[in-house]
Amino acid sequence: MLINLKNKDTLIIDDFKFKCSIGKNGIKKNKVEGDKSTPKGFFSIDKLYYRDDRVPKPQVDLNVKKIYPNLGWCNDSKSKFYNSEIKIKKSIKHEKLFRKDYKYNYILVINYNPKKIPQKGSAIFIHLTKNYKPTIGCIALKEKDFLIMLKLIKRKTKIKIN
């Protein structure tokens, strides 16, 4: 199974085409931390995270994890936890996964920079949007499309970002 991002605003899976948004600065082959671009390439997908206080646990062929208030993603390239899920600590620069808004009610992790190369970029997700405004590097879908996508993909699904 392949998820294909084409034309910067269309995610294609089999016969399904979903409108989406990407990083404010487009798609870049040589992404760096904080450049607000979506990385170009061919990647596996990882875990699905969800907010069980807001949305139901989807029945999917993926590893699934609840998002708790103390869950974060390290974006500090000097940390040994860079580009990894962490338990939030003030001493580690991070992005909160338990957000006040709806965008991270569901998050699908794209395995970008798995070797955790400093400054190459972290926390590339497929998450939710209501208005298709540009992201800071992730791919965003409306919730109904996200849920359809989850029914189509499996653990071994790859994503190609052109």
How many CB atoms are closer than 10 A to CB 134? 17
Classified by CATH at the fold level, domain 2-161 comes out as L,D-transpeptidase catalytic domain-like (2.40.440)
Predicted local confidence at residue 3, as pLDDT: 96
Domain boundaries, the chain: 2-161
* 56-110 confidence digits (pLDDT tens): 999 999 999 999 999 999 999 999 999 999 999 988 999 999 999 999 999 999 9
* 1-49 confidence digits (pLDDT tens): 899 998 889 999 999 999 999 999 999 999 999 999 999 999 999 999 9
Find, among 89, 88, 120, 111, the residue nearest to 3 by Cα. 111
Predicted local confidence at residue 6, as pLDDT: 85
Residue 143 burial by Cβ neighbours in a 10 Å radius (0-12, 13-18, 19+): middle
